[in-house]
Structure 1
Amino acid sequence: MRCRFAVIAAFAVAGLLGLPATAQAPSRFDSADEARAALDAARQQQRNARARSERLEREAASSRETSAKARADAAALAARVQQAEASIAAAEARLTLTDRERRLLDRRLSARRAPLVRLTGALQSMSRRPLALSALQSGSLRDLVYTRAVLDSTIPVIRNRTAALRGDLDRAKSLQAEARQAVADRRDSEAALIQRRKQLTALAESERLKARRAAGGADREAQRALVLAEQAIDLDQLIGRLEVAGSLRTRLAALPGPLPRPADPPMARVSSAPSPRPSATEPPTQYQLPVAGKIAAGFGEAAASGQRQAGIVLSARPRALIVAPGAGRIAFAGPYRGFGRIVIVEHANGWISLVTGLGTLDVDVGQNVGAGSPLGLAPAAPGEVTLELRQDGEPVNPLDHLR
């Protein structure tokens, strides 16, 4: 009975050594450590996006101002889109780790295949031979007793080895189940992403139309921004000229309106001019990265050209959603030579954000956006998105101001 038990276990192992993969994992990662780091980062991005969407949904529900509610709704939906994108990234990392572990297990089981098959054949031959015939074979009874003793001492070793192999096979089946679940999660996240992108596109287009109707001079401002882009030598000069225009616009908006004529001019007193308020220097209260992705280059690092990075560079997934890093006003939105489509956001207190590397744009010049409002999508091919934050024209590290 013990011999037949070993035979059955050995045959089970021999039949299940090569388990097929449920799905091929993406080859975006060079090592298991990189895949694990990507998985941890994607899960953190999921949690952050979920927290942002829940907070923005509460703000939208409690807001009484129509425009503020619309911006909060758009930012909340954008956060849900980024949550779905992070879910896809997490599923891909899980699938990569599962596939790597399964391949290692397959190689380990394949190394045990040859000796196990030979042992299975020998035990199978002995199990088919009746004990009575063994007594008739050539040799003494002592040889027969010796053979039985060897088998009695071998069977526990076989049982231990087959137990370890059964554990490996159980792990292989578990890996298959994990891979199937990762594929299902990725499929569900992709379906949710498609649905949320449709909703976001419709909402963003509605906000653009409202902004165009509300700002009669938006077209003229957009034309001036394009002219400045044509005349500017580089991005620094473009940002500087936009800062001058924005500063002038802010000062004009702060001027007091015409005073009503008093009913009795002789009795009217001349009021003293209001004392100017000191200029605030606080950065945006809520500031975030425009896209979920790995930081490819940090602030101040040397670029290929030898110049220092004035911002940070993020590796973006194809068609990833890009959002406004902070609340403000769109000062420029359009293509700029060598940088793809770019967006410049004017924040309060002399702060400006520059986002480059967009594939599509969902905002217009003059439009007010909230932190997390959609700006557009990354290109269809994997690329890089750059974020620069400037205070009065001077670049600062955006990572120091994340909220």
Structure 2
Amino acid sequence: MKRLALLLILLTGTLGVPPALAQDAGADARRAAEDLEAASVLLDSAEDAADRVAALTDTIRAYEDGLAAMREGLRAAAIRETELTRKLQAQEQEISQLLGVLTAMSGRASPGALVHPQGPLGAARSGMLVAAVTPGLAQRAADLRADLEEVQALRKLQQNAAQRLAEGLQGVQQARTELSQAIADRTDLPQRFTEDPIRTAILISATETLQGFADGLSQIPAEEDQGGPPMPDIHALKGTLSLPVRGVVLRRAGDPDAAGVARPGIVLAARPGALVTTPTAATIRYNGPLLDYGLVTILEPSPDVLFVLAGLDVVYGQIGEVLPAGSPVGLMPAPTNASTESEGGGAGRSETLYIEVREGDAPDDPLLWFATDKG
């Protein structure tokens, strides 16, 4: 596909100028490009909606990784440009003096300049001194010239990267749209039970907290089991599960927020519009608006275990469906337009996902379940 090939070029090419600034980001970009190419092959060979969902999920993740690598490279370039600019400004007087010396040396000396106050011996000493200093001055001028050329290259890199980021964002947005359609077309997922909207509505109206809703939901049995696969014991995977979204931990369980409220879950900072997936096979127990948490998805990976994901902008799937591991369950809130997301290529994450794990009727620390750096 043309948009995939375009991103392959910009991922592997943009970060290579200058190569010393973005070596790690460039390696990440190349890996993302390889993943993107593999996803495009799967997408071209997809025979049904389920295959398209899997391929598009991989495509979006590859886009996100590639764009993150581009932003990191651009951030490194911006930092380097700032350092060089400050360095050059601080040495502005020295540069002027150096240019004056080089200009004088490059011209033809007048006869008077050859007369030294201390006579021929002083003139000889001065000549020897100038001869000794000249190579150092020339090297200093070459270093400064290299710094100026690097600043110019960095500015050109940043100008080109802004447009290419926008192109990449358009590509990932198209993939998100196609994913939504593929999920709507998917009909072959196992269905563990059918939602009882009346009972769910009563539960929502009777609870005032997320904890209360999750507790009440866990007490509603899936009475209309429709022959879905048996749910595994998730405890064997405890501590090894991938986070539902790529991000960093902002708050741990029990840490108070800005209002002084402590919650039993963790808060992740994620990129706007990032894809959220289920870390393991799970049944959708609820997805939709809830209290002031925005859109919420509650997954049941194992009997008496619930994963609560709150703060989504889009949710996928139907209540009662059994999702394979890595299936998309929603998207993080996105900016109103692509240019907003692309501004400040190295900008930090700006959206948050609240994750709560409940075992039985009690919360458990999510960092005990997910594989993170714990930092």
What TM-score, normalized to structure 2? 0.70
> Does residue 1:163 correspond to 2:139, yes or no?
yes
Structure-2 separation of matches of 1:41 and 1:393:
43
Contact 2:249 2:267 in 1 (8 A): yes
Summarize deviations over 1:18-68 as a string: whole Å, max 9, x none: xxxxxxxxxxxxxxxxxx9xx97998799699889979x99xx9x9xx9xx
Contact 1:389–1:395 under 8 Å retained in 2: yes
Contact 1:328–1:368 under 8 Å retained in 2? yes
Amino acid at match of 2:257: A
Q: Which residue of 1 aligns with 2:274?
A: 320
Q: Where does the alignment leave 5 or more consecutive residues of structure 2 unmatched?
A: 1-20, 336-349
Higher helix share: 1
What is the CA–CA distance in structure 2 between the aligned matches of 1:222 and 1:124, rounded to whole Å? 85
How far off is 1:88 after superposition? Answer: 2.3
In the alignment, which of 94, 100, 123 is matched to residue 121 of structure 1? Answer: 100
| One-letter identity of the residue aligned with 2:254 | G
Is the aligned partner of 1:146 residue 2:122? yes
Superposed, 1:18-29 pairs within 5 Å as none
**1-side partners of 2:131 and 2:365: how far apart?**
68
Shift of 1:81: 1.6
Taking the aligned partners of 1:173 and 1:119, their CA distance within structure 2 comes to 18
Question: 2:352 aligned with 1:387, yes or no?
Answer: no
1:330 shift after superposition: 1.5
What secondary structure sits across from 2:309 in the alignment? strand
- Cα 1:42–1:287 shift into 2, 3 Å: farther
Aligned residue runs from structure 1 range 207-286, under 5 A: 207-211=183-187, 218=194, 221-249=196-224, 280=233, 282=235
Q: Does structure 1 conserve the Cα–Cα contact (< 8 Å) formed by 2:278 and 2:327?
A: yes
Q: Which amino acid aligns with 2:235?
A: E
Corresponding position of 1:265: none
Secondary structure, aligned partner of 2:219:
helix
> What secondary structure is seen at the aligned counterpart in 1 of 2:196?
helix
SS in 1 for 2:253: coil
Other-structure match for 2:315: 361
- Segments of structure 1 that go 5 or more residues without pairing to the other structure are 1-35, 255-276
1:326 and 1:342, CA in 2 relative to 1: closer, same or farther beyond 3 A? same
Cα distance in 2 for partners of 1:183, 1:326 equals 41
Q: What is the CA distance between 1:175 and its match in structure 2?
A: 5.6
Residue 217 to residue 116, structure 1, CA distance change in 2 (3 Å): closer
Q: Which amino acid aligns with 2:322?
A: N
CA contact (8 A) 2:67 2:168 kept: no
Higher Rg: 1
Q: 1:332 to 1:318 in 2, by over 3 A?
A: same
User: In structure 2, what residue type is equivalent to 1:282?
Assistant: H
Partner of 1:350: 304
Letter in 1 for 2:145: L
The yes-or-no answer on 1:199 pairing with 2:153 is no
| 1:400 is aligned to 2:354 | no
How high is the sequence identity, in percent, across the aligned residues?
Answer: 22
Q: Distance in 2 between matches of 1:146 and 1:130?
A: 17
Distance 2:189 2:58 in 1: 27
Which residue of structure 2 lines up, in the alignment, with residue 15 of structure 1? none
The answer to whether the Cα contact below 8 Å between 1:358 and 1:376 also exists between their aligned partners in 2 is: yes
Name 1:96's counterpart in structure 2. 75
